[in-house]
Amino acid sequence: MKENLRQVRERGGEGGGKGVRMAGSGSERVAVELCKGINGLDKVVLRGPRGSSAEVYLYGGHVTSWRNDHGEELLFVSSKAIFKPPKAIRGGIPICFPQFGSHGSLEQHGFARNKFWSIDIDPPPFPTNSKSFIDLILKPSEEDTQKWPHSYEFRLRIALGPGGDLMLTSRVRNTNADGKPFTFAFAYHTYFSVSDISEVRVEGLETLDYFDNLQNKERFTEQGDALTFESEVDKIYLSTPTKIAILDHEKKRTFVLRKEGIPDAVVWNPWDKKAKTMTDFGDDEYMHMLCVEAAAVEKPITLKPGEEWKGRLELSAVPSSYCSGQLDPQKVLQSS
């Protein structure tokens, strides 16, 4: 790990260390910085040219902070989150792999969010328009292969766009030497910070089919013109559009999710009763968070040896206003 950190610092212009400086008047501000986080865990801080930032812990390959140009936190992390392995961090963007939820024989959401990722010093060519990014890699340990007997390389690039957008790109390759394919599920388990869950609506999932985890995973069709929240929700929406919007009425802010290669979307809020049963989650924190997750759950991904899958998520936060209960179309155009 220390060797990885040293190499990245020395990499200079490749976008991975203390040699990477911001252009313009703030030229002394470092675009990518390696430092210690909570409980001494290694983390990477990404900084955009206008003041946006993101923080990524190597434990879990886990984004724990995303701030806009005004320094406002856009992700939710519980005040009771436990930054201590092997417990997953509660909030931010956990990586669910190779299993989602309890849909399989592995631990909840698989093991990727409970492992220490390495900094990928020499990733395959991957174009970017950002100087603020980090490449991470996860490979199986002996312990992992006992539970999930496959060889793979999971590469994750986390980048801040020039406008402050947060971009995550996952690439999973089957490196099995025995010629066997493997199958996995996946999700970016994104926790968004919202003003008040009762003031939030989600658009883009209308009329779609979903599995309701609160009703024995039965399949239903969404009836409303938008999702609003007044009780616990845990749904997996199927074959969703590439763009989903989360409108926060009180903050006059809209989160826009754009996804590629990831067909489903999970919507989750534990509400009050379940919140009180979670030791790493505050009793009232459900009011200020909402998970809308890009996921591949219904039809798991199968890779033959040598094949690679790519799944990309881009998050942006734009000003919004209501017009007859809908997102102002001018604001939508501005965020496109």
C-alpha distances in angstroms, 172 versus 153, 183, 231? 6, 11, 36
Q: Are 261 and 311 in contact (CB under 8 A)?
A: yes
Query: What are the tokens at 237?
Result: 């929406």
Can you tell me whether residue 86 is helix, strand or coil?
coil
CA angle 290, 293, 113 (to 5 degrees): 100
Q: Is 334 annotated as a binding residue?
A: no
DSSP bridge partners of 63: 56, 93
Question: What contacts 96, CB < 8 A, 6 or more positions away?
Answer: 109, 110, 112, 113, 185, 186, 187, 188, 189, 293, 295
Q: Is 90 annotated as a binding residue?
A: yes
Which entry of 62, 103, 150, 189 is annotated as an active-site residue? 189
Which entry of 33, 285, 293, 314 is annotated as an active-site residue? 293
Question: What contacts 161, CB < 8 A, 6 or more positions away?
Answer: 48, 129, 130, 167, 314
Q: Which of 78, 94, 97, 96 is nearest to 38 (CA)?
A: 78
Q: Are 265 and 244 in contact (CB under 8 A)?
A: yes
* φ and ψ of 105, to 5 deg: -95, -10
Kindly report whether the peptide bond that precedes residue 98 is cis, defined as omega within 30 degrees of 0.
Answer: yes
**Chain centre to alpha carbon of residue 92:** 7
Q: Is 293 a catalytic residue?
A: yes
Alpha carbon distance 254, 245 (integer Å): 7
Q: Is 103 a catalytic residue?
A: no
Q: Are 150 and 176 in contact (CB under 8 A)?
A: yes
Binding site for substrate: what residues are annotated? Answer: 90, 108, 113
Binding site: what residues are annotated? Answer: 90, 108, 113
Q: Which residues are catalytic?
A: 189, 293
